[in-house]
């Protein structure tokens, strides 16, 4: 069934179709409609779940942790300050190997208060052990929530499905809402192997001494490594069932491209248009859209970028004293490419706090990259008026 819905409700439908059993959430703009819609779904019986209306995001994640430890499918959603408040428990959920799924709406961090799009909130959580998927359309959002549960439950690691504030969260698009029966076949009820079970009592999360902690982390690392191929397989399987595939990374018009624009989230849609128009003008340019940020698809990125002349990374985020975060990741993974065919990486900072990244901004980025042999600095800020 096709419906015209906003990105936030695409998340809600994703969670409903995934038959989340315990939902705990706390309101924050621009996430609120996700849980409002889920409350409706729970109230009118479309979804048989326990909805815990907690007093903070910290407790929302704690409730999900408790529920997941019993073996229930747990879901929450947040944004920005709420995500930051959860930080401790994001580590906890991953370390406890709990397959919780959460939607995060990318919103800028305060101060100054700003409710608009900016990736610094979720990218600040990159070392917590959560998988991260950045989505471009409402359909992708709904599909990714369903896929995320499947991936998480295989890996025993939590997943974050990420969408841009307003550009996606509040934008209405036609979305195909699949039949429950088909989703059920794709994503069967979850049966955890290790749970809080009175018939088989165990202790979870006890003190681990230096002789065992490192092994636990190594196990998480291994799961993350498997995560890349697993996400690809599950996306393929999803494609066979639902007729749609999203990939973990998308090369766009990379044939013969000498300069590659790296994009993510809704910026990728604009980048596609810009690449098309530049190609018409005879420019050798393409786009690499990266959907999966954790685990970072390092091999694919290196493979697709080797032999290019320049790469322009557009970062809607910033790590102070460091630079754009995607640019840092890309630089680090292409370090293993032979120096003679390793492209020069230009890091551009753009669109912070919801500032529009229009086609002319991207064209400026392209021509600046084309016109210089080396970046003038590690991070080039676009459009800052001082």
CA dist., res. 13 & res. 9, Å (int)? 6
We find the least distance from the C-beta atom of residue 64 to other proteins, in angstroms, to be 6
According to the binding rule CB under 8 A, does residue 202 interact with other proteins? yes
Give the end-to-end CA distance of the chain in Å, rounded to a whole number: 50
Cis peptide before 11 (omega within 30 of 0): no
- Residue in 3, 46, 50, 170 binding other proteins, rule: CB under 8 A: 50
Torsion of CA 177, 178, 184, 189, to 10 degrees: -20
By beta-carbon proximity to other proteins, the closer residue of 92 and 326 is 92
We find the least distance from the C-beta atom of residue 35 to other proteins, in angstroms, to be 15
CA 305 to centroid of chain Cα atoms: 21
According to the binding rule CB under 8 A, does residue 92 interact with other proteins? yes
We find the least distance from the C-beta atom of residue 4 to other proteins, in angstroms, to be 31
- Find residue 370's DSSP bridge partners: none
- Residue in 43, 110, 208, 384 binding other proteins, rule: CB under 8 A: 208
In the range 61-90, which residues lie near other proteins by CB under 8 A?
Answer: 62-72, 74, 88-89
CA dist., res. 104 & res. 168, Å (int)? 12
Say which residues have a Cβ less than 8 Å from residue 208's Cβ, sequence separation at least 6. Answer: 216
By beta-carbon proximity to other proteins, the closer residue of 201 and 282 is 201
Contact map string, positions 5 to 34, toward other proteins, x by CB under 8 A: ----------------xx-x----------
CA dist., res. 75 & res. 64, Å (int)? 7
Q: Say how many C-beta atoms besides its own lie within 10 A of residue 105's C-beta.
A: 33
Q: Say how many C-beta atoms besides its own lie within 10 A of residue 12's C-beta.
A: 28
Structure tokens, 122: 């979720």
We find the least distance from the C-beta atom of residue 50 to other proteins, in angstroms, to be 4
- Residue in 179, 197, 219, 299 binding other proteins, rule: CB under 8 A: 197
Which range touches other proteins (CB under 8 A), out of 194-202, 222-230, 303-311, 344-352? Answer: 194-202
Which range touches other proteins (CB under 8 A), out of 110-118, 200-208, 278-286, 369-377? Answer: 200-208
By beta-carbon proximity to other proteins, the closer residue of 70 and 110 is 70
Burial string for 253-290 (b: 16+ CB within 10 Å, else e) reads bbeebebbbbbbbbbbebbbebbeebeeeebbbbbbbb
Q: Which residues are near other proteins by CB under 8 A?
A: 21-22, 24, 48-50, 52-56, 58-59, 62-72, 74, 88-89, 92, 196-198, 201-209, 212
């Amino acid at each position: 069934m096709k419906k015209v819905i906003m990105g936030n409700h695409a998340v809600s439908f994703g969670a409903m179709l995934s038959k989340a059993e315990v939902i705990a959430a706390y309101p924050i703009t621009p996430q609120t409609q996700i849980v409002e819609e889920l409350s409706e779904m729970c109230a009118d019986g479309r979804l048989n779940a326990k909805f815990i209306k907690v007093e903070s995001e910290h407790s929302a994640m704690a409730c999900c942790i408790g529920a997941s430890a019993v073996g229930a499918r747990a879901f929450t959603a947040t944004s920005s300050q709420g995500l930051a408040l959860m930080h401790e428990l994001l580590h906890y959920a991953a370390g406890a190997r709990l397959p919780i799924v959460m939607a995060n709406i990318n919103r800028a961090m305060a101060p100054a208060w700003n409710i608009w799009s900016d990736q610094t909130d979720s990218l600040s959580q990159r070392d917590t052990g959560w998988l991260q998927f950045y989505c471009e359309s409402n359909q992708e959002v709904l599909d990714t929530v369903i896929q995320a549960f499947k991936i998480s439950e295989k890996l025993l690691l939590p997943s974050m499905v990420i969408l841009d504030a307003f550009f996606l969260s509040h934008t209405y698009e036609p979305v195909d809402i699949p039949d429950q029966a088909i989703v059920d076949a794709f994503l069967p009820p979850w049966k955890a192997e290790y749970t809080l079970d009175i018939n088989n009592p165990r202790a979870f999360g006890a003190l681990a001494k230096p002789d065992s902690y490192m092994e636990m982390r190594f196990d998480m690392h291994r799961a993350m490594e498997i995560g890349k191929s697993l996400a690809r397989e599950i996306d393929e399987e999803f494609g066979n069932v639902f007729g749609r595939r999203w990939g973990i990374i998308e090369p766009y018009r990379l044939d013969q491209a000498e300069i590659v624009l790296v994009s993510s989230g809704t910026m990728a849609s604009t980048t596609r248009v810009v690449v098309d128009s530049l190609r018409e003008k005879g420019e050798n340019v393409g786009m690499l859209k990266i959907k999966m940020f954790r685990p970072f698809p390092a091999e694919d990125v290196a493979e697709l970028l080797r032999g290019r002349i320049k790469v322009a990374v557009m970062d809607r985020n910033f790590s102070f004293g460091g630079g754009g975060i995607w640019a840092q990741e890309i630089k680090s993974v292409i370090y293993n490419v032979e120096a003679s065919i390793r492209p020069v990486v230009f890091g551009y900072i753009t669109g912070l706090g919801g500032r529009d990244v229009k086609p002319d901004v991207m064209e400026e980025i392209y021509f600046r990259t084309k016109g210089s042999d080396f970046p003038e600095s590690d991070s080039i800020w676009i459009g800052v008026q001082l």
